[in-house]
Structure 1
């Protein structure tokens, strides 16, 4: 696994990605946006805007990823 530090990204400008989703995943993303819009009272005009927060949430709650990230950060600190 490569080092996942983002030191090369110095600003908060979004990075544009182009991905292909299976049709079923896209339909679920649209349905999720509609449900979220109803619950929050806001219209989600572009369901693709949910992908970033969904990925962030996924990575934040993935215990194996968090454990590996902590281990790598500790290793990097001890090497400096």
Structure 2
């Protein structure tokens, strides 16, 4: 089984954003969604757009320079949940 950086997606109330992605990035998101679906045993397709928020969250949670700068600025919380893994 493939060890992806993202696990099951949480259902949370979203904030709507509109973004533009390069076509290559969108194709990669579609591929990632399919691999995640197969590795998680899901039977329904995963929308590529549903991957963007968990990927950004994971990126920020593992960016040590961001965490250090955030602590230095005195910010607390902000909705980012740090996860080990």
CA distance in 1, matches of 2:36, 2:24: 18
Runs of 4 or more above 2 Å deviation: none
1:28-73: CA deviation from partner (whole Å, max 9, x where unpaired) = 0000000000000113331100111010000000111011011111
Partner of residue 16, structure 1 = 16
Q: Does 1:68 align with 2:57?
A: no
Give the helix-richer structure, 1 or 2: 1
Q: TM-score, normalised by structure 2?
A: 0.68
In the alignment, the residues of structure 1 paired with residue 27 and residue 59 of structure 2 have an alpha-carbon distance, to the nearest angstrom, of 19
Q: Secondary structure at the match of 1:16?
A: coil
Aligned CA RMSD, in angstroms, stands at 1.5
Is 1:30 matched with 2:35?
no
Paired residues, number: 63
In the aligned structure 1, how far is the partner of 2:53 from the partner of 2:59? 10
Gaps of 5+ in 1: 1-11, 75-80
TM-score (norm 1): 0.72
